[in-house]
């Protein structure tokens, strides 16, 4: 997926305007991280069709302008990045997630094997694993200093590079039949949790979770990787 800096800048301005209107007319508190990520998602969707007609040289030129830097959450937020690796022939796969705070320090993570009938199911299982983990952490107050701020639950942003999954859990699309049960479970858990967002993140910004999934698949991921990141 490609987009120019000018297009992304226009998307930022548009979503700042929408955030301003929501604050004035609906009483919603502006959120900088959500505005930035929603702007990027909208830009990706807009340029998805336009890029089909680009020449190869123009495509390479625009690819050099893609922002690939990980977007840090706010000081009162946690950022989860999730990914899944799936094999069609064996129907086996891996799901992984990494959780970082505002300064990029790894504070939580997981990697595990799964069985899935298609990649959409694998991606959905990765999301469900994070949601279950967040629910358990909050209910037991495990790692209390990482879960609350001034007595309130920290906001959790869960980012996936699978746009169809994000569209499904947000209610803007229907999941494929094999993934319907898992997606429905995700929606139920999300309804039980406050301050949890599921957002789209370009693949270039999701490399950490992708690396963990592949390293676990290759049996090269240390068992204490969360405490001592490679």
* DSSP string for the chain: ----HHHHHHHHHHHHHHHHHHHHHS-PPP-HHHHHHHHHHHHHHHHHHHGGG--HHHHHHHHTT---SPPP--TTEEEEEEEEEE-TTT-EEEEEEEEE-TT--EEEEEEEEEE-SSHHHHHHHHHHHHHHHHHHHHHHTTTHHHHEETTEEPEEEEEES-HHHHHHHTTSSPPPGGGHHHHHHHHHHHHH-SSEEEEE--GGG-HHHHHHHHHHHTT-S-TTTTTS--
pLDDT band at 172 (very low <50, low <70, confident <90, very high): confident
* Cβ proximity of 199 and 38 under 8 Å: yes
CATH architecture of 77-217: 2-Layer Sandwich (3.30)
**Which residues face 97 on adjacent strands?**
82, 110
Is the pLDDT score of 59 beyond 90?
Answer: no
Give tens-digit pLDDT for 214-227. 888 888 888 888 88
Tell me what the mean pLDDT of segment 180-189 comes to: 96
d(CA 125, CA 182): 7
The region of weakest confidence among 58-67, 101-110, 128-137, 153-162 is 58-67
Pick from 157, 82, 158, 165: which is nearest to 119 by CA? 165
Is the pLDDT score of 33 beyond 70?
Answer: no
What pLDDT, on a 0 to 100 scale, did the predictor assign at position 149?
40
- The larger pLDDT score, comparing residue 140 to residue 193, is at 193
What pLDDT, on a 0 to 100 scale, did the predictor assign at position 6?
67
d(CA 118, CA 123): 9
pLDDT band at 22 (very low <50, low <70, confident <90, very high): confident
Hey, how many other C-beta atoms are within 10 angstroms of the C-beta on 45? 15
Place of tokens 């599921």: 198
Residue range(s) occupied by CATH 3.30.420.10 in the chain:
77-217
Chain centroid to Cα 198, Å, comes to: 6
Structure tokens at 7: 């297009």
d(CA 106, CA 148): 17
Task: Report the chain's mean pLDDT, rounded to a whole number.
Answer: 79
Residue 102 CB burial class (10 angstroms; 0-12, 13-18, ≥19): middle
Straight-line distance from the first to the last Cα atom of the chain, in angstroms, rounded to the nearest whole number: 29
């Amino acid at each position: 997926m490609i987009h120019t800096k000018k297009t992304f800048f226009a998307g930022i301005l548009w979503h700042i305007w929408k955030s301003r209107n929501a604050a004035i007319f609906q009483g919603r508190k502006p959120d900088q991280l959500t505005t930035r990520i929603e702007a990027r998602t909208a830009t990706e969707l807009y340029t998805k069709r336009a890029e089909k007609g680009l020449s190869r040289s123009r495509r390479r030129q625009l690819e050099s302008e893609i922002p690939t830097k990980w977007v840090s959450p706010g000081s009162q937020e946690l950022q989860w990045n999730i990914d899944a690796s799936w094999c069609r022939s064996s129907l086996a796969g891996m799901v992984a997630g990494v959780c970082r705070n505002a300064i990029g320090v790894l504070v939580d993570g997981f990697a595990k094997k799964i069985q899935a009938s298609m990649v959409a199911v694998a991606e959905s299982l990765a999301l469900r694993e994070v949601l279950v983990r967040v629910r358990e952490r909050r209910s037991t107050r495990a790692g209390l200093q990482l879960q609350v701020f001034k007595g309130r639950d920290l906001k959790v942003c869960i980012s996936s590079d699978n746009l169809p999954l994000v569209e499904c859990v947000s209610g803007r699309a229907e999941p494929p039949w094999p993934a319907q049960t898992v997606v429905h479970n995700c929606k139920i858990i999300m309804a039980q949790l406050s301050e949890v967002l599921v957002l789209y993140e370009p693949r270039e910004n999701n490399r950490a979770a992708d690396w963990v999934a592949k390293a676990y698949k290759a049996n090269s991921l240390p068992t204490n990787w969360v405490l001592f990141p490679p």
